[in-house]
Chains A and B, each alone.
Chain A
Amino acid sequence: MGLLDYFRSTRRGTAAVAKERLQIIVAHERGGGRRHSPDYLPALKKDLLDVVRKYVPISQNQVKVHLDRREDYEVLELNITLTDEDQAGHK
Chain B
Amino acid sequence: MSKVIVVTSGKGGVGKTTTSASFGTGLAQRGHKTVVIDFDVGLRNLDLIMGCERRVVYDFVNVINNESNLHQTLIKDKRVENLYVLPASQTRDKEALTREGVERVLNELRQSFEYIVCDSPAGIERGALMALYFADEALIVTNPEVSSVRDSDRILGILASRSRRAEQGDEPVKEHLVLARYAPDRANRGDMLSVDDVVEILGIPLLGVIPESQSVLQASNAGVPVVLDEQSDAGVAYNDLVDRYLGENRPHRFLTVEKKGFFRRLFRN
Contact = CB atoms under 8 A, between A and B. Distances in A.
A60 interface: no
Interface stretch (A23-31, A41-49, A81-89): A23-31
A75 interface: no
A9 B12 CA distance: 36
A18 interface: yes
Interface string B169-209: 00000000000000000010111111001001100000000
A56 interface: no
B160 A22 contact: no
A14 B144 CA distance: 12
Interface in A9-37: 11-16, 18-19, 21-23, 25-26, 29-30, 34-37
A25 to B, nearest CB: 6
A14 B197 contact: no
Interface residues of B, number: 20
Given A23-B201, A34-B160, A18 B153 contact: no
Contact of A15 (B150, B154, B160, B194): B194
Interface residues of A, number: 19
Contacts of A15: 187, 190-194, 197
A34 B140 CA distance: 16
Nearest to B158: A34
B193 A18 contact: yes
A35 B146 contact: no
Nearest to B149: A22
A19 B201 contact: yes
Contact of B160 (A13, A16, A35): A35
B13 interface: no
B42 interface: no
Contact of A19 (B150, B160, B197): B197
B225 to A, nearest CB: 30
B161 interface: yes
A30 B191 contact: no
Nearest to A12: B190
Contact of A36 (B145, B153, B161): B161
Q: Which 3 A-B pairs have CB atoms at the shortest separation, nearest pair first?
A: A13-B190, A19-B197, A26-B153
Interface of A: 11-16, 18-19, 21-23, 25-26, 29-30, 34-37
8 contacts: A11-B190, A13-B189, A13-B190, A14-B191, A15-B187, A15-B192, A26-B149, A30-B157
